[in-house]
Amino acid sequence: MSVKAKYQPVLDLGLKLGIKDGDVSEENGVLKIKGMAATQYEKNILWDKIKEIGGEKPADLKANITVEDDSVYHRHTVKSGESLSKIAKHYYGDPMKYTKIFDANTNILKNPDIIHPDQVLVIPNL
């Protein structure tokens, strides 16, 4: 299996996430990936996929993934049935950090218990 084929799920994920300025090349059995993720969260997702396939420090891959907007961790579009605590658990692993999300969005939220589908929430860096 070629190294590009091995990491194809990473390349597919990059396309799905809309990674900008992407470039992929293979040299001496090492896959070189370059691109720009919209947020740190998307960069982390890519690195998680890389580690899932190649281990903690893959020797057959070099990736240079930059972040376009590092002022926020991510921007989340609310889906039906979500709550701030559910969103906080997804991004931070802790539902009690919902207050961080609420505080970062007081321009559009007046009550942490009331959010609506299609609202775009800032998920702040911690």
pLDDT given at position 1: 81
The domain tally of the chain equals 2
User: Are 32 and 46 found together in one domain?
Assistant: yes
Residue ending a domain, choose from 42, 67, 92: 67
Are 12 and 54 in the same domain? yes
Q: What is the 3-state secondary structure (H, E, C) of the chain?
A: CCHHHHCHHHHHHHHHHCCEEEEEEEECCEEEEEEEECCHHHHHHHHHHHHHHHCCCCCCEEEEEEECCCCCCEEEECCCCCCHHHHHHHHHCCHHHHHHHHHHCCCCCCCCCCCCCCCEEEECCC
Residues of the chain below pLDDT 70: none
Same domain, 94 and 114: yes
- Where does a domain end: 67, 89, 112? 67
Q: What percent of the chain has pLDDT over 90?
A: 98
Residue 28's CATH number? 3.30.70.1770
What is the extent of the structural domain holding 95?
72-124
